[in-house]
Every structure is written in structure tokens, then in C-alpha cells.
Chain A
Amino acid sequence: MNLLKGRIGALYWGGSLLALTAFGCGAKQPSQELVNARSAYERASTGQAAELVPADVYTARKSLERAEKAHEDDANSFEARSRAYIAERKAMSAIAKAQSREARRQVEAAEQQRLSVLESQRDSARLTLDETSAELERVRREMQTGNEELRNQLAQRARELEARQRELEDARRQRERAEQQVTAAVESLRQVGMVRSEARGTVLTLSGSVLFPFGKAELFPAAKQRLDQVATALANIERPVEIEGYTDAIGSDANNLALSRERANAVRDYLIQRGVPSEKLKARGLGETNPIASNDTAEGRANNRRVELVFPRAGQRQTSAEQRRPAPTERGSEPGEAAGWSDAPAESDSAKEQQK
């Protein structure tokens, strides 16, 4: 708006000056200096100078008016030409000053832009920094959580391992104790019978002829003394002992099996009577199977008639028939039920006899 007003004002002034020149002193030919001065003023008053440096444009106008007047007075005088010369330079000076002002305005604008760019750079850097800090904090928290989980897992694993270690240690001690118990028991029984070591454990063999009369399942009184020693030895043993009855090959398998079972039960019953807990004793009859000597000679048959006490090796839960030493002759034809362990002494004949 100001610019427009300035321009209109300048045009008006210029127009009035031209009118003055045209009608007031039309006859006089303007000097080159005056032509230049008018032209320069025209440029100053219609350009940006009118708005930017109005005081200088005004000065230029006064100077031009003075030149016009001098021209009126004496068109070709040195003074008239000098006034026009000066007026031209005042107008040019106003234009140059306007250019200066415009340039300084541009510098200010540039400075403003520079500040705003720097500000936005700073803001963006601050934003990036904030984002990075937040990310860092997040990662740090994750790491802490991760560490905690890891520590917990490791601690849990360590506890499990310790428990397992204790279990193994306990088991080892138990095994050692059992081993020692068996060794001690067996040592004390060397006078009672023959002791030998097998894969399934330590085996104490009691001669049948020492324990029972021929074909019977009732213990000799002398046999009872030996079994008292066995009962004493078993008092210190934790693991169950297996009592196995065997016969020679004379007579039918069924009879031999029944006899061997009765004899095994007789030994078991006596030992229970002497204070050995029943759950520590298992008895079964195996008849003429697993002979340890030839049945062709009287001596061999005597050896085969026997009762074996098996002290299972530590770490072995139970001895199965398959784990036994290989039999020198073919095995018994009916190991099925007959070979099963008898834990019920009430069913045995000897127990019935004892109850009578």
C-alpha cells in the first residue's frame, strides 16, 4: 500500500514538474544536464527509492526544482547546468541508497532464515538425541531384565545340580554302607557256608544235608544254630535277601520243585522267627535247576541239594532269573509259577506244621 502511494505521489510530482517545464518555459531548450537530471529523478521517484529512501528522493526533487528554476532564469548559464548536474547526482544517489537499503533488508532476511534453519537443525538434533536416549534406556532396561532372568535360570540350575549332587552322594554312601553291610555279614558267615561272588551278588551256599534230613523240609537242630548266625548277620543288612532252594535230580521235577520251595520257606520262616523282618526275606524253590555239580555222583548230588542266600549287589534292585549264572545243564522245564517268589509263609507246608 505504501509503495503504491509513494509511486503515485512520485508520478504526480514528476508530472507537475514536466508540466511546469512544458508550459512555463516551453521556448527554452533544456541542457543535456537537465535532460539527464529529469531522467534520473524519474527513475528515482518511480522505483523502490520512493518507498525505501523517501527523504533522499525529496532532496533530489528539491534539487531538480532548483535546477528547473535556474533553467527558467537563464537556460544556458553555468549555474543552470550545474544545478541540473547536481540534481542528477542527487537522484542517482537516492537510487544507490535505495539499493543499499534493499541489500541490507536482504541481509536481515537472510539472517532470519539462517536462524530459523539453525533452530530447526537444533530442534531436529534434540529430537534425535531424545529418541536415542529413549532407545538407550529401553535397551538398558531390557538388558537388566535379561540379566535377571539369566541369573534366576542359572541359580535354579545351580540348585538343581546341588540337589542332584546331594542325591548322588547319598546314593553313593548308601551303596557303600550296603556294600559294607553285606561284606561284614558275609565275612561272619564264612564258617556257616560256602561264599562266592557272582554278577547278581554274593551267594552263601548252605549244604542241604546239613540243614535237612533227606527228602524233608524240617530243619535239623544243628542247622538252626547255623541259621542263628545268619539271622544275626542279616540284622545289619538293609537290602532284601533272596533265599533259593535247590534239589538234586533224583525224583520228579514237581516233587523236587515242591521240596525245594518248602525248604526255602523253612529257612525263611526260621529266620523270621529269629527276628529278621519278613520284608527282608524272599524265598522260592528252584528244584533241580542250576546244579552246581554233577548229579551222577553221590557227592555231586549232595552238593546240589542246597539252600542259597543271595545278597544282591548294591545298585541292583532285584535279581531276575535271566541274570543268573548260566546253568551247566538244561534248565528246569517249568520255571513259570513254580519259580515265583513266595512272600506268603502261611501257605507253605512247614508254616502249617509250625502252626500246629
Chain B
Amino acid sequence: MACGSASIPHGKLADSEAAISAAEAAGANEVPRASLHTKLAKDQLEKARGEIKDGDTEEATLWIERAKADAELALSMARSQADQQRAQQALAEVEELRSSSAEQGDR
């Protein structure tokens, strides 16, 4: 392929690694679905490194892109989980406050 002769995608590799770090920093490892995708991302980066070693930069680039897509999905899922937990907590707090307020009103 024409683009097979492309240079080794060090920048993309670094981007993907950064995406994995960001997902882990957002707590992806504590969210089961998200942790699956960080794991996939890491595995695929390993494959990319193998391809780089073998000289197949085209395939390596695809693995890197896949890894990045998984890492970004893991980050979104981790954030989503955290946001949903916060929402539940906030709603529960309001409910509690409202019922205690109603009790006060009843006095």
C-alpha cells in the first residue's frame, strides 16, 4: 500500500498512551465496563508495538487508533459513571432535605 511506507507513528502512540492514562486517572479501573476498554486499549498498544518491531507501521497505526478509541471510550464511561453517581446522590440529598422540611412544616 502507498501509505505502507509511512513513518513510525510515535505521536499517535503517545496520544493513545496519554488517553489510557487519562481514563485511569478518571477512575476507569473502578468501573467494570470502562476497565474492560482500558485493558483492550493496552493490549492493542502492545500489538501496535509488535507491528512496529515487525516493521508494519500501517497495521501498527490501526492498532494504535483502535487503542485510542477504547481508551477514550473508557474515559467517557468512567466520567459517565461518576456523573451518574453524583446525580443520584444529589437527588437523594434533595429528597431528604425536602422530607425533613415537610416534617418541620408539620410541627
Interface readout for A89-129 with B: 1 if CB under 8 Å, 0 if not? Answer: 11011001101101110110011011001101100100000
Q: Are B77 and A114 in contact (CB under 8 A)?
A: no
- Residues on B with C-beta less than 8 A from A120 are 101
- Residues on B with C-beta less than 8 A from A97 are 76, 79-80
Interface assignment of A78: CB less than 8 Å from any CB of chain B: yes
Q: Are A107 and B90 in contact (CB under 8 A)?
A: yes
CB distance from A44 to the nearest CB of B (A): 12
Chain A interface bracket (under 10, 10 to 19, 20 to 34, 35 or more): 20 to 34
Q: Are A100 and B80 in contact (CB under 8 A)?
A: yes
Q: Is the interface of A mostly helix, strand, loop or mixed?
A: helix
How far does the alpha carbon of A99 sit from the alpha carbon of B37 in the complex, in Å?
A: 18
How far does the alpha carbon of A245 sit from the alpha carbon of B93 in the complex, in Å?
A: 114
Q: Are A110 and B91 in contact (CB under 8 A)?
A: yes
Given contact pairs A86-B66, A93-B73, A114-B93, A121 touches B83 in the complex (Cβ within 8 A): no
Q: Are A104 and B65 in contact (CB under 8 A)?
A: no
How far does the alpha carbon of A124 sit from the alpha carbon of B106 in the complex, in Å?
A: 12
- Residues on A with C-beta less than 8 A from B98 are 113, 117
Q: Are B70 and A100 in contact (CB under 8 A)?
A: no
CB distance from A39 to the nearest CB of B (A): 15
How far does the alpha carbon of A114 sit from the alpha carbon of B37 in the complex, in Å?
A: 36
Interface assignment of B11: CB less than 8 Å from any CB of chain A: no
Count of chain B residues near A, Cβ 8 A: 28
Q: Are A96 and B77 in contact (CB under 8 A)?
A: yes
CB distance from A168 to the nearest CB of B (A): 61
Q: Are B86 and A107 in contact (CB under 8 A)?
A: yes
Q: Which of B59, B65, B83, B93 contacts A99 (CB 8 A)?
A: B83
Q: Are B97 and A114 in contact (CB under 8 A)?
A: yes
How far does the alpha carbon of A92 sit from the alpha carbon of B73 in the complex, in Å?
A: 7
Q: Are A117 and B76 in contact (CB under 8 A)?
A: no
- Residues on B with C-beta less than 8 A from A82 are 62-63, 65-66
Q: Are B90 and A121 in contact (CB under 8 A)?
A: no
How far does the alpha carbon of A97 sit from the alpha carbon of B5 in the complex, in Å?
A: 37
Q: Which of B63, B73, B83, B94 contacts A100 (CB 8 A)?
A: B83
Q: Are A110 and B76 in contact (CB under 8 A)?
A: no
How far does the alpha carbon of A114 sit from the alpha carbon of B98 in the complex, in Å?
A: 8
Interface assignment of B7: CB less than 8 Å from any CB of chain A: no
Q: Are A103 and B73 in contact (CB under 8 A)?
A: no
- Residues on A with C-beta less than 8 A from B91 are 106, 110
Q: Are A79 and B72 in contact (CB under 8 A)?
A: no
Interface assignment of B14: CB less than 8 Å from any CB of chain A: no
Q: Which of A78, A82, A96, A121 has the most CB of B within 10 A?
A: A96
- Which parts of A36-92 form the interface with B (CB within 8 Å)? 78-79, 82, 85-86, 89-90, 92
> Which of A's residues lie within 8 Å of B, judged by CB?
78-79, 82, 85-86, 89-90, 92-93, 96-97, 99-100, 102-104, 106-107, 110-111, 113-114, 117-118, 120-121, 124
> Which of B's residues lie within 8 Å of A, judged by CB?
37, 58-59, 62-63, 65-66, 69-70, 72-73, 76-77, 79-80, 83-84, 86-87, 90-91, 93-94, 97-98, 101, 104-105
